């Protein structure tokens, strides 16, 4: 067993998993404190490293692509203080940090853990129910439904429609973008049959973020939803592909050909709108071409 205890947090490794506990120091970010303790199975790791500095060093875990819904939802946009897979190490604990790295690396080698991407989440994501308030609204998620409520800073055109309730079954994707410079960020839910290109300020399925302290908490809501959506690289649902196959052929050859051309255009539109993934579109397109 290897363990390193710091003001920034405590990391423990028992040979099968790492337990990451955020510290209580005032410099520990609100996101890490709210997220709480994480258990990372060895099989979710792609690597570990330690970087020394003059006053402090930094332990870093690298997870396999697709293993964690939080990293999937944030797309690598989490600022360094909010990254739960980094730990600040005081200079008098450099030796302990190096020992910790060696123990994890040896376990990865012994278990022959691959570093390639995975097609299913290996971490559960933030626990629910979960609620966060930032920017122009509050986002809550109970595991089955997202609720968006607005505050006095919300644009009138968006607030006029009132609070929104989005069933998980209607959500096709979730996006979280932090505010950068003069550009505002957002938490956006993509809803089946309600695609929009409106800015988050006017989009009733988005919370606009302005770069304040509580903004990162919206990333936890995004991750909790992401964990319950189909994995982006999971095998294609064959039943869904069957539903996308063309209807029985019309009576005449000419009508049959025209119908298939229309079907190809429909599939192309669905692909452009993001309803179909690249793989689903390719399979459905090939099914139509075979009919032609």
85-89, 205-209, 238-242, 265-269: which range is least confident on average?
Answer: 238-242
Q: What is the mean pLDDT of residues 149-163?
A: 92
Q: How far apart are CA 208 and CA 202, in angstroms?
A: 9
Q: Within 10 A of 286 (CB to CB), how many other CB atoms are there?
A: 10
- Tell me how far the alpha carbon of residue 55 is from its chain's centroid: 33
Q: What is the mean pLDDT of residues 228-247?
A: 66
Residue 264 pLDDT exceeds 80:
no
pLDDT of residue 45: 97
Q: What is the mean pLDDT of residues 129-150?
A: 96
> DSSP readout, 143-191?
SSEEEEEE-TTS-HHHHTT--EEEEGGGEEEEEEE--BTTB-EEEEEEE
pLDDT of residue 292: 57
68-79 pLDDT tens trace = 999 999 998 999
pLDDT of residue 239: 56
pLDDT of residue 169: 94
Structural contact between residues 132 and 149, judged by C-beta atoms closer than 8 angstroms: no
Picking from 131, 126, 130, 139, the residue whose alpha carbon sits closest to that of residue 208 is 139
pLDDT of residue 28: 95
**Three-state SS at 268:** helix
Place 220 in a pLDDT band, splitting at 50, 70 and 90: very high
Q: What is the mean pLDDT of residues 188-214?
A: 90
pLDDT of residue 17: 97
The DSSP symbol for 290 reads: H
Q: What is the mean pLDDT of residues 54-60?
A: 94
The DSSP symbol for 237 reads: -
Q: How far apart are CA 9 and CA 21, in angstroms?
A: 6
Residue 249 pLDDT exceeds 50:
no
């Amino acid at each position: 067993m290897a363990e390193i205890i710091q003001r920034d947090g405590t990391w423990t490794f028992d040979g099968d998993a790492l337990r990451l506990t955020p510290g209580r120091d005032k410099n520990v970010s609100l996101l890490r404190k709210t997220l709480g303790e994480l258990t990372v199975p060895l099989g979710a790791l792609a690597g570990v490293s330690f970087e020394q500095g003059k006053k402090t060093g930094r332990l870093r875990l690298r997870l396999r692509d697709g293993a964690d819904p939080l990293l999937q939802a944030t797309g690598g946009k989490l600022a360094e203080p909010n990254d739960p897979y980094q730990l600040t190490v005081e200079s008098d604990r450099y030796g302990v940090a190096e020992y910790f790295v060696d123990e994890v690396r040896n376990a990865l080698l012994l278990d022959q853990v691959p570093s390639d991407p995975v097609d299913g989440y290996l971490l559960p994501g933030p626990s629910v129910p979960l609620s966060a308030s930032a920017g122009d609204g509050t986002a809550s998620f109970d595991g089955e439904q997202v609720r968006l409520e607005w505050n006095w800073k919300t644009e009138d055109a968006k607030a006029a429609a009132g609070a929104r309730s989005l069933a998980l079954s209607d959500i096709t994707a979730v996006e979280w973008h932090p505010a950068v410079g003069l550009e505002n960020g957002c938490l956006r839910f993509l809803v089946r049959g309600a695609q929009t290109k409106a800015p988050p300020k006017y989009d009733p399925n988005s919370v606009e973020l302005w770069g304040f302290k509580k903004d990162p908490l919206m990333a936890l809501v995004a991750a909790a939803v992401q964990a319950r959506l189909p994995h982006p690289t999971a095998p294609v649902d064959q039943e869904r592909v069957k539903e996308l196959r063309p209807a029985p052929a019309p009576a005449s050859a000419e009508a049959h050909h025209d119908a298939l051309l229309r079907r190809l255009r429909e599939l192309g539109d669905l692909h452009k709108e993001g309803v179909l993934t690249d793989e689903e579109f390719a399979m459905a397109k090939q099914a139509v071409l075979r009919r032609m």
